[in-house]
Structure 1
Amino acid sequence: MVPISFSSTAYLWSLVGLTILLYTTRRSRQRFRLLLPLPPGPKKLPIVGNLFDVPADRPWEAYQQWNKDFRDRWRRQRKMFHEAFHAGAVKQFDPQIRDSTHRLLRRLLRDPHDLMGHFRHLAGALIMDVTYGIDVESLDDPYIKIAEEALHGLAIACVPGTFMVVRLASYPAHQDTQTHFQDLIPALKYVPSWFPGAEFKRKARQWRDVTHELVEAPFTEVKRNVAAGTAPFSFTSLNLGLLAESDSGSKRGAVKEKDIKETAAASHAAGADTTTSAMGTFALAMLKNPDAQKKAQAELDAVIGHGNLPELGDAPALPYVSAIVKEVLRWENVAPIGIPHRLLVEDEYRGFRIPENSIVIGNEMYPDPKSFKPERFLLGGKLNSDVRDPEAVIFGFGRRICPGRHMAYSSLWLTIASILATFDINKAVDNDGNVIEPSYEYSAAVIFTPLPFKCSVTPRSPRAAQAIEATVGGKCYFK
C-alpha cells in the first residue's frame, strides 16, 4: 500500500469537493425553487409541519387572518419607527440629543486627544439612550461591543466578492431558520460547515449568535425596568407602555412585542457607524478649511453670544452652520456607493431604457465636488432651496428611505454647532513644532470612515470652557 502524503490528501479532498460542487451545480436549476425563501406563515412543527394549523371549520376566515398576520411585517415595524421618529415626533428625544452632546463637550474638555473615540462614544451612547434608555459610560460597554461586532460582520458580508456565497437574503437571528445564501454559486449553501473552505458558514453562525444577543439583551433589560417602574423614557419603554395599555398578554400583544424588539434592534445597529463617519468628516473639513470654521464661529457669536451653547431651535437663525452640516454630508458621503436598488418595473432615464429587475445605484452631481464649500447652499445669507439638498440623497430615497434621518440630522447639527461654539479644531504639531498634515484618507468599506488622524482641540476661551462645565445631563423618565 502506498502511503498518502499531505499533498495527496489535499488533492483527494479537492476532488471530493469538486465532485460535490459539480453535482450540486448541475441540479441547481431544477432545485432553484427550493433555494428561494418560503413565504411567511405559521411556524412548522417537526415531522407534521403545519398539519395542526389547518382549521377544520371555516378555514377561509383563518386564511384571511393569516394574510393579515404574516403580510409584509416590515410595514408594521417601519410604521412603528416612523410614528416615533418622524419630523414632528422626533422632538420628544431632544433632551437625549442635548444631553449626549453636552457629555461629548465635557469629554473633549477633559481629554481632547481621542477625537474619533469620543465621536464613537457619542453615537453609540445616544442610540442606546434613545432606543433603550440605557446609559453607556464608555466604549468598553458590553452593549457597544455587541453592536460593533454585529456591524463588523455586516460590513464584511456586504462587500461583493468577499465570499463565493454572498448573502442576498439573510434571515434575522431571532427566527428559527437557516441563513440563506444566494449569489454567485447558490449550491454552496449545502456544503457542511466542517468542509474545507466553508469558512463562510462558520462566520455566518458566529454573526448570527452576536445578532441574536444584539436583539435580545438590551430589550430584556428595558422590559425588566418597565415592569419595575424605573425605565427612562425611550423608544422601547414608550412602545412597551402603549402595549401594556392595549394588547398586553394577548396573541396580538405578543406579535407587537416582537415588532418592538426587532425595530429597536434595527435602530440600535443602524446609526452608530454613520454618525461617527459624518463627525470625522466634519473634523477633517475644519482642518482643511479653517476659514469656514471661523465664519461659523462668528455667526454663532453674533446670534447666540460667545460662551453660550446652541439649541436645536436656533437652527433657522444659523444658516451658515446649517450649510456646513449639509456640506459635511455631501463632501465625503457616509456611504459613497449607496445601497443598490432593484427596479420592479421597466423605467426610462435620459432617453435610455432601464429593464425590469436591473440593479441601479443612485448618484448626485455638484459643481466642483471635491472642494468644501458651504456657500454652495447659500444665497443672500439664507439657505438656497434651489440647490439640491444632500439629505435628499444620502439617507436613501423611495420606500426604503432611512426612517431615522430626522433624528440623525438633529444630532449631527447640534453636535457640530456646539463644537464650533466652544472649541477650535486645528492641525496638530509635533515636538519640533512642525505641523502634522492629515492624510484625509478613508477606509474602503461600506461605511466610509476617516482613517486615524491627529488634530488639536482646544477651548475657544475660558468662558467657553465654563459654559461646558456648567452643563448638567438630565433624563425624562417614563411614567
Structure 2
Amino acid sequence: MLSDRLLDTSLLARLHTVNHAGLLNVILGLLFIAIVAIAADYAWMLYLRSKMPPGPFPWPIIGNTFSLPDNKPWIYFEELSKNFGTPVITFWIGRNPTVWINDAWAAHEIFEKKAQIYTSRPRMVVFGELGSGQSSLVTMQIRNQQERDHWRVHRKLMHLGVGVQSVRGYREIQNNESKLMAYDFLREPKEYVKHLERYATSVVSIIGFGRRVASYNDPIITEVIALMQLAADLNVPGKSFPMLLETFPFLAKFPRSWPWPWFKGLGTRGQKGGHYFFYSLAEEAIEQYNQKSPSEQASMPTPYVKTLFGEAKKYNLPAAELSSLTGNLFGAGADTSSSTLITFILACCAFPDAMHKAHAELDRVIGAHRSPHWDDAPNLPYINAFVKEVLRWRSVAIIGGQPHSPTQHDTYRGWLIPRGAWVQGNVWAIHHHTREFPDPDRFYPDRYLPKNDHHRAFPGEKGYMTFGWGRRVCTGQALAEQGTWISVARLLWGFEIRKTRDETTGKEINVDIFAFTNGLNMRPQPFPCDITPRDEEVKETMLREGRQALADLKIHDGESRYRMSTFYQQQKRKFTREPVIDEQGNVKFVNVKGV
C-alpha cells in the first residue's frame, strides 16, 4: 500500500514536471517567435532608413516617438533639419516613417510638381479613424480610382461654396461684417478677441447657413470654436495619449465605451447623432431660407447648404459626409481666420513702425471720410505687403495642415519616400528660413516690396505657403485671403493699436511674440493691448458705416434651436437610421451599423 502511494506521488510529480516543462517550452517558443518578428521588423525599419532622408536613429517598435518635445515640435524638426544639413528629414512615429519638409523649394518640388501622387492622406488613427472619420474631405485617403473619384466629388462640392469663383460674391458680407467688427472695437476694445471670433464665425455662418452670428456669446462660437481648438490641440505629434495611438495603433481596437486612458479627449465613437450636428443645422437653415419671401431671397446669397443638398442628389451622399462638408466651413474659416487676426493685433503691438507706415499710406490714398475697399488694393502696395507678412510671420496652420502621403514610391535627391509614408510640411521652418526671410522673427512687410534689401526669391507668386500645397491646399484659401485683407486694411485705417501701460508705473507692458498655443492651428496666448480710434473724423466714419452695416445685415438675422453641448443626447434615437438623399432629392433612411 505504501509503495503504491509512493509510486502515485512520484508519477504525479513527474507529470507536473513534464507539464511545467511543456508550458515553459511554449512560452520560450512564443518568446523566440516574438524576438524574431521584432528583429525582422527592425531590420526592415533600418533598411528603409538607409534609403530615406537622414534623421535620428530609431528604436524598435517605438521609433523616435519618445524623443518628441512636449511643446511645439515644429521647432524641434526645424533644428533637426539644420543639424543634419538637409531640407528634408525622416522621423519615426512608432514604425511609421514621417518625412518632414523644412524648406520652401523642397516643398514646392515635392508637393506642387508631384501633386498627382501626393494627393492622398496616410492612415491617421486619432484624427481620422477615431475623429472625423476617413470620409471627410480633410482626412480622405486616395489609394485607388474609386477613392479618387469620391474625393473629387467632395472637393467639387466644397468649391461650390468657397472656391475662387464663388468668393467674390461674398465680398459684401465680409465688407459689412468687418465694418461691424470695427464698430464693436469702438464699443468694447478690451474684448477684441471675442469680436474677431464673432466676425469670422458670422461670415462663414452667413455663407454656409444664411444666418449671421450677432453676439460673441452665441453658442456657435463658444462651443464650435472650442471644439475646433480641441481638435487642433489633439492633432499635434506627441509622446502622450491620445497621439501615442499613432505609435501603438492596436490600442484603438479596444472598446470605446470603456474608460481607457488613451481615449481621453476623443469622445465616444458610436454616440448616436454625434456626426449629424452640422447636418441638422443645414436642414434647419434650408427650412428657414425657404420661409423667406422671394424678395428677401433675392437680396441674399443662397446658403451653401441649400446648394450642397441640391447637388448631393447626383451622388447619393450619406448624412455623415454632408455633415462633414458643412462642418469644414467652420473648421477652415472661423478658428483659423480669427487666430490670424489676433496675430495681426500682436504684430501691431510688437512692431509699431510697420503699423505707422501703413497709416501713412492709408491717409494718403483713402483719407478719413471712408474706409478701405478691395478696389483700393492696386493703390495700396504697403497694405498688400502687410497682409502677406501677417500670413507669413506666425502662420496659423503651422505644420501645413494634415499630412500628405504618396500613392507610389517617390524619390527626392536620391532619397526614397515610400508609398503610404507620412509627409509633412513644416510651415514654421519654411517661413523662418533666413535664406528667404532674413531676420524672420521681425514683422517687416517691406520684405515683400521689390528692391528692398530683405526681398528674396520664393517659389510661387504669393510669397508664403500658409494654406498648404498641391491638390490638398486649403479649399477656403481664397475666402480667407479676401477676408484677411479687408479686415487688416480696415483696422489699420481705423485704429491705433498699442501695448497697454501699467496703471501704476505708466510703463508699456511688453508682449511676447513667441507665446503661442501648442495646437495644430496656433494662436497667440492672451495679451493685453490698447485699441483706440486714430482721430474723431475716422471714428465718426466707423460709427456711420457700422450702423449702416448692421442695417444691411439684418436680412441674415435669425436663431438656431440647436446647441452642440446638448445635441448629442437629444438626437440619440433620431439617427439610429441614417438619412441619405436619393437621386430625386428625397430623404431616405438606412440602418446604421453599430448604433
How many pairs align?
A: 404
Deviations 1:299-356 (A, max 9, x none): 1111122332011121121110010111111111212222332233333334544343
Residue 450 of structure 1 corresponds to 524
Residue 184 of structure 1 corresponds to 247
Tell which has more relative contact order, 1 or 2 (C-alpha 8 A, sep 6+): 2
1:266 counterpart = 2:364: no
CA contact (8 A) 2:275 2:323 kept: no
CA–CA distance in structure 2, aligned partners of residues 320 and 452 of structure 1: 28
Tell me the C-alpha RMSD between the 2 structures.
3.7
Residue 575 of structure 2 corresponds to none
User: Which amino acid in the other structure matches residue 343 of structure 1?
Assistant: P
1:83 counterpart = 2:157: no
1:421 counterpart = 2:483: no
Q: How does 1:1-150 map to 2 (within 5 A)?
A: 72-150=149-227
Percentage of pairs with the same residue:
30
SS of residue in 1 equivalent to 2:508: coil
The offset of 1:420, in angstroms, is: 0.7
Residue 279 of structure 1 corresponds to 341
1:377 counterpart = 2:445: no
CA–CA distance in structure 2, aligned partners of residues 207 and 460 of structure 1: 54
CA contact (8 A) 2:170 2:207 kept: yes
Indicate how the Cα distance of structure 1 residues 436 and 156 shifts in structure 2: closer, same or farther if over 3 A, else same.
closer
CA–CA distance in structure 1, aligned partners of residues 320 and 270 of structure 2: 21
Residue 78 of structure 2 corresponds to none
User: Which of 219-228 and 252-261 deviates more?
Assistant: 252-261
CA–CA distance in structure 1, aligned partners of residues 259 and 304 of structure 2: 43
User: Which of 365-374 and 423-432 deviates more?
Assistant: 365-374
Deviations 1:430-449 (A, max 9, x none): 21212111122111121111
Residue 219 of structure 1 corresponds to 282
CA contact (8 A) 2:501 2:509 kept: yes
Indicate how the Cα distance of structure 1 residues 204 and 354 shifts in structure 2: closer, same or farther if over 3 A, else same.
same
1:407 counterpart = 2:483: no
CA–CA distance in structure 1, aligned partners of residues 278 and 465 of structure 2: 29
Residue 466 of structure 2 corresponds to 394
TM-score (norm 2): 0.60
Mind listing any 5+ residue stretches in structure 1 that lack a counterpart? 1-21, 41-66, 168-181
Residue 436 of structure 1 corresponds to 509
Residue from 152, 155, 162 that aligns with 2:232: 155
Indicate how the Cα distance of structure 1 residues 370 and 201 shifts in structure 2: closer, same or farther if over 3 A, else same.
closer
User: Which of 461-470 and 259-268 deviates more?
Assistant: 259-268
CA–CA distance in structure 2, aligned partners of residues 462 and 79 of structure 1: 47
The offset of 1:387, in angstroms, is: 4.4
CA contact (8 A) 1:107 1:118 kept: yes
SS of residue in 2 equivalent to 1:99: helix
Residue from 368, 371, 375 that aligns with 1:313: 375
Deviations 1:147-201 (A, max 9, x none): 124314412431233655649xxxxxxxxxxxxxx73223323323454534617
CA contact (8 A) 1:236 1:260 kept: no
Residue 342 of structure 1 corresponds to 405
The offset of 1:74, in angstroms, is: 2.6
TM-score (norm 1): 0.74
CA–CA distance in structure 2, aligned partners of residues 189 and 375 of structure 1: 49
CA contact (8 A) 1:100 1:122 kept: yes
Indicate how the Cα distance of structure 1 residues 295 and 233 shifts in structure 2: closer, same or farther if over 3 A, else same.
same
Indicate how the Cα distance of structure 1 residues 71 and 338 shifts in structure 2: closer, same or farther if over 3 A, else same.
closer
Indicate how the Cα distance of structure 1 residues 253 and 39 shifts in structure 2: closer, same or farther if over 3 A, else same.
closer
Mind listing any 5+ residue stretches in structure 2 that lack a counterpart? 1-29, 39-122, 136-143, 557-595
SS of residue in 2 equivalent to 1:457: strand
SS of residue in 1 equivalent to 2:337: helix
Deviations 1:209-235 (A, max 9, x none): 785354223212212113323565244
